Amino acid sequence: MQPFVFHNPTRIIFGEGTVPQIGGEARPYGKKILLVYGRASIKRSGLYDRVMASLHEAGLDVIELPGVQPNPVLSHLRKGIALAKEAQVDAVLAVGGGSAIDTAKGIAAGAATDRDVWPFYCRTATVEAALPVLAILTLAATGSEMNGRQVVTNEETQEKFGFLSPLLHPRVSILDPTLTYTVPVNYTAYAAVDAISHLLEGYFTHGDLWTPIQDRYAEGLVKTIMETAERVLADRSDYQGRATMMWAATLAFNGLGIAGVGDVEFPNHMLEHPLSALYDVPHGAGLSVVIPAWMAFMARRNPGRIAHFADAVLGIRSGDDAAKAEQAAGRLRAWFEKIGSPVSFAQAGIPAADLERIVDKTVALSKVWKVTRYSRDDIREMYRLCL
Amino acid sequence: MQPFVFHNPTRIIFGEGTVPQIGGEARPYGKKILLVYGRASIKRSGLYDRVMASLHEAGLDVIELPGVQPNPVLSHLRKGIALAKEAQVDAVLAVGGGSAIDTAKGIAAGAATDRDVWPFYCRTATVEAALPVLAILTLAATGSEMNGRQVVTNEETQEKFGFLSPLLHPRVSILDPTLTYTVPVNYTAYAAVDAISHLLEGYFTHGDLWTPIQDRYAEGLVKTIMETAERVLADRSDYQGRATMMWAATLAFNGLGIAGVGDVEFPNHMLEHPLSALYDVPHGAGLSVVIPAWMAFMARRNPGRIAHFADAVLGIRSGDDAAKAEQAAGRLRAWFEKIGSPVSFAQAGIPAADLERIVDKTVALSKVWKVTRYSRDDIREMYRLCL
């Protein structure tokens, strides 16, 4: 293990029927709340009414920012910051999935400074203060409900960037699995891919350390997410399945899986972000395209960790490390396809003719993220495996 | 899964050479610190000097309470409370293992009330305020460094009781694995047993829920602790072994393994506490006596979960559930004996003639803990399996 600091102070309230607790939980953070959400679905389902009733009962004033998109955009985030400053809100409450929570975090950071937020995402400035963030989760995927991470797409520059700040952990996140019953089949699959990807990034890239705690943590959660995805795709209202998926996705990216494994690179996210930014592909759908390609590429270069995964998670025991890793890439690709997540540019609607343009974006991102392991040719080669 | 609230705000600073950070970490909590520790060992090792230098450099005044015993006692805890009140300390810093940290927590609770602390342990009163607690860990075992739990022995009544309060999570715990190099072989073994026991309690008693996340979490940690115990017993200064043991013991009892499994009973702790209270047996040594007995007893009554453990952790695949569970009890008993932890009353120096006296104590404790599953005859039968 490597040295680490682990601090995750988010309070998780988990279970059916927990939404009405939001008023009481939010009240200690102030009088005026900015409510951030996406489209009309939370109004149709009645969730919006339940949240508003609880907030009003707790005596809170509510300002609203609807309109968060699945890949949230910087212009909308800036609109939220202006609103938060003008109304002088005390806290920001997201009701939604990772997009709503990430937007709430960006607003919380932006409302506490006179400067623009984009440099935080470019990692040329650091968040020094933030409003408290709270969340009610409606999609089990990104883990944003229990970490200090957020991403946003800058539409002008077509860059999807993200950063991490310990000040942006939600103070409280309410996780009611029944809120995910209405998540469509395709987004349920993309969400499973996203959660798995968060576990794989740390697992595959940490090198040759002896890390049995972190390995088994990730292996157990990946197995669980794979089993559970099939369960909820068969029955979208399976409470135990939805509950397990929701908590597994949270634990997949709450910092525990990577505590002690040293600096983690995110090559699959690096390959995916340009796809979301350029073509508005759902994040999980982009990940299911690039993950098997990255694995197949690495099977030739440095298969050790992928072979370990092949054995521990997929039960692949035959062949040398390179062969095991190659099989693991194929097996995971087939499983992504089985659950209905795309595994090629064509399936994701990404034009093969744009390859060089995508490579340009990724090379630029690799510099922002300081990932030096992959050359331009490597990156092109990995995308070729997605065609 | 069952509904749950998970909130673990302890900040963990992990790695070699982290002790000098204590001054800076403690300063935000006030000017005057009560330093709680055990015997001369931290002076011999130089740890005491390093801690004092860091606290003084941060401008803090330090009051000292040495003399914590391995099974900490109420009279000493009350002495600490009187000292904390008289000196009007702002925070309590434990340097030691679970005994020092538990004592620091008891003092932190007692110093913030005009009432006596014993009712907290009897669960007839609830902690409503507490001083901040900080910890520097020197023994990987109890998990007290990252939870709100504590135990103490009342010498007058010979009762070892404990309780849980969200106000008593350490604010910061410093975990430097090199501080455990000097832990003797026998205490290293007892510590491994203790950490395993914390995982088994939740795993075995939660009933028939579908809990793959929590099951795999516990299974992975138990396997890791078993492998790692053998590694550090072979080489007490194996950094990676000590680091893995330290973090695994923390994760074994930080609330994550039992979040979502419903109300957990602690039958093995219920059977062990009277042994520590009456005979001053080290807690882990008492646990290695009672765990195989409890498992063998339950193998006849309700073997399902133990059979699941037998398969997943010990690789036992033959026989029906009762046979698997019986084998698991024997296998774990043999492993405890192998690492040098006692597995019978005789080995632990407990007189068999005292059986009824021990049963009396345990029946009384089962009432305090509201554990109704075991009759007096059941309890006697389980202790008979320890003879």
d(CA A191, CA B108): 44
B189 and B329 both lie in a single domain: yes
User: For B30-82, how does the pLDDT look when each residue is reduced to its tens digit (9 = 90+)?
Assistant: 999 999 999 888 999 999 999 999 999 999 999 999 999 988 999 999 999 99
From CA A28, how far away is CA A299, in angstroms rounded? Answer: 51
Per-residue confidence (pLDDT) for residue A227, from 0 to 100: 98
**Cα atoms found within 13 Å of the Cα of residue B168, Cβ hemisphere only:** 28
Instruction: Please check whether residues A291 and A380 belong to one and the same domain.
Output: yes
A5 lies in a domain?
Answer: no
Whether the pLDDT of residue B385 is over 90: the answer is yes
Q: Provide the shortest C-alpha distance from residue B148 to chain A (in Å).
A: 14
Considering B160, B179, B198, which residue would you say is the last residue of a domain? Answer: B179
Reply yes or no on whether the pLDDT at B125 is more than 80. Answer: yes
User: Considering CB atoms only, which of A5, A220, A243 is closest to B11?
Assistant: A5
Q: Do B3 and A18 touch (CB under 8 A)?
A: yes
**Domain membership flag for residue A357:** yes
| Helix, strand or coil, per DSSP, at residue A37 | strand
Residues A89 and A161 in one domain: yes
Contacts of B195 in chain A (CB under 8 A): none
Are the CB atoms for A240 and B260 separated by under 8 Å?
no
Q: What is the pLDDT of residue B283?
A: 93
Tell me whether residues A15 and B8 touch, CB distance under 8 A: no
Please check whether residue B5 lies inside any domain of the structure: no
Instruction: Return the pLDDT at A192.
Output: 97
What pLDDT is stored for residue A340 in this prediction? 97
Closest by CA to A249, choosing from A40, A41, A12, A19, is A12
- Nearest CB to B14 within list A6, A18, A224: A6
Q: Kindly give the parts of chain A with pLDDT less than 50.
A: none
| Same structural domain, A362 and A278 | yes
The vertex-B155 CA angle with B151 and B158, nearest 5°, equals 80
> Are A162 and A105 spatial neighbours (Cβ–Cβ below 8 Å)?
no
Q: What is the pLDDT of residue B40?
A: 80
B266 C-beta neighbours (distance < 10 Å), count: 18
Residue B221 dihedral angles phi and psi, to the nearest 5° = -70, -40
Nearest to A5 among B13, B212, B260 (CB): B13
**Percent with pLDDT over 70 in chain B:** 100
CA angle (A284 as vertex; A283, A286 as ends), nearest 5: 65
A207 and A171 in a common domain: no
Are A171 and A193 members of one domain?
no
Structure tokens at A118: 């984009």
- What confidence tens digit (pLDDT) does each residue in B157-194 have? 989 899 999 999 999 999 999 999 999 999 999 999 99
Q: How many Å lie between the alpha carbon of B104 and the closest alpha carbon of chain A?
A: 21
Is residue B1 in some structural domain? no
What integer pLDDT is reported at residue A62 of this predicted model?
98
Which pLDDT belongs to residue B206?
A: 74
The answer to whether B179 and B224 are in contact (CB under 8 A) is no
pLDDT of A234 reads 97
Same domain, B167 and B202: no
Among candidate residues B154, B179, B204, the one where a domain is terminated:
B179
- Pair of tokens at residue A149: 């991470």
Q: What is the CATH number of the domain that holds A373?
A: 1.20.1090.10
Residues B141 and B207 in one domain: no
From the list A173, A169, A154, A149, the residue with the least C-alpha distance to A264 is A149
Asked if the C-beta of B7 comes within 8 angstroms of chain A's C-beta atoms, the answer is yes
One domain for residues B170 and B230 = no
CB pairs under 8 A between A and B: 114
- The CATH number of residue A29's host domain is 3.40.50.1970
Domain membership of residue A52 (yes or no) is yes
Residues A14, B244: C-beta atoms closer than 8 Å: no
Q: Domain containing B145: what range?
A: 11-179
Q: How far apart, in whole angstroms, are the C-alpha atoms of residue B222 and residue B193? A: 10
Calculate the CA A294 to chain-centre distance.
18
Predicted local distance difference test score (pLDDT) of residue B208: 81
Among B158, B179, B200, the domain boundary falls at: B179
Render pLDDT for B255-308 as a digit per residue (tens, 0 to 9).
999 999 998 899 999 999 999 989 999 999 999 999 999 999 999 999 999 999
- Residue of B1, B8, B216 with shortest CB distance to A243: B1
Residue A3 lies in a domain: no
Count up the domains in chain A and report the number: 2
Mutant choice from B247, B251, B256 vs A, greatest count of A C-beta within 10 A: B247
* Closest CB to B240 among A1, A8, A15: A1
Tens-place pLDDT, residues A36-54: 999 878 999 999 999 999 9
For A209, name the nearest residue in chain B, comparing CA atoms only.
Answer: B240
- Residue B103 falls inside a structural domain: yes
> Which residue of B3, B18, B244 is in closest CB contact with A213?
B244
Residue B118: pLDDT above 90? yes
CA distance A281 to B356: 70
Query: What confidence tier does B207 reach under pLDDT thresholds 50, 70, 90?
Result: confident
Element (H, E) at A361: helix A355-368
Residue A236 lies in a domain: yes
Angle, helix B304-314 to helix B321-338, in steps of 10 degrees: 50
Best residue in B11, B196, B213, B235 for a mutation probing chain A (most A CBs within 10 Å): B213
B14 touches A: beta carbon within 8 Å: yes
Both B164 and B223 in one domain: the answer is no
- Is the pLDDT reported for residue B205 higher than 90? no
Residue A40 is predicted with a pLDDT of 79
Q: Which of A19, A171, A247 is the best residue to mutate to test the B interface, defined by the most B CB atoms within 10 Å of its own CB?
A: A247
One-letter amino acid at B185 equals V
* Predicted local distance difference test score (pLDDT) of residue B41: 87
Residue A244 touches partner B, C-beta closer than 8 Å? yes
| Same domain, residue pair A300 and A238 | yes
Q: Region B365-379: what's the mean pLDDT?
A: 93
Centroid of chain to Cα A140: 9
How far A213 CA lies from chain B's nearest CA (Å)? 6
B202 shares a domain with B145:
no
